[in-house]
Amino acid sequence: MKGSLARLVELGPHVGAAKQVKEFSSELRKNALAVEVAVFIRKGESVSASETLGRSSPTYLAKLKQLREDFEQAETVLAEWSITMTKIDSYRSMLAMERETMHAGIAGGDY
């Protein structure tokens, strides 16, 4: 249980950031595309051509890759947080059952 509690303390600062990454992932992808599209519009391309060029831009693809990696890392942190919380809940439940068994034995219960 101590290990799980220590892990929660380690993960704590990262959970908030992970939730933000997950929540704003879609907006960040849209903003990255908008930046690239604007570059091509300023160069005189049509909106539809600019979107196509923006989606194939190396800068956009690199940003998209980074956003994907950030999202995966956020998912990993949140999953590990959830697993650790489940472990702690299980430990607490086992301790409660043990106390109940000990109390019943002391009180003369017939478990």
pLDDT in tens, 38-77: 999 999 999 999 999 999 999 999 999 999 999 999 999 9
Distance CA(37)–CA(50), nearest Å, equals: 5
Provide the terminal-to-terminal Cα distance of the chain, rounded to the nearest Å: 26
Residue 109, pLDDT above cutoff 70: no
Q: How high is the pLDDT of residue 68? A: 97
Residues 6+ apart with CB under 8 A from 35: 60
Kindly report the pTM of this predicted structure: 0.73
**What DSSP line would sit under 36-57, residue for residue?**
HHHHHHHTT--HHHHHHHHHH-
| Statement: residue 110 has pLDDT above 60 | no
Q: pLDDT per residue over 1-34, tens digit each?
A: 778 788 878 888 899 999 999 999 999 999 999 9
Taking 90 as the threshold, does the pLDDT of residue 105 lie above it? no
Q: Is there a contact between 6 and 84 (Cβ–Cβ < 8 Å)?
A: no
CA atoms within 13 A on the CB side of 101: 6
CB of 96 within 8 A of CB of 9? no
**pLDDT on residue 107:** 64
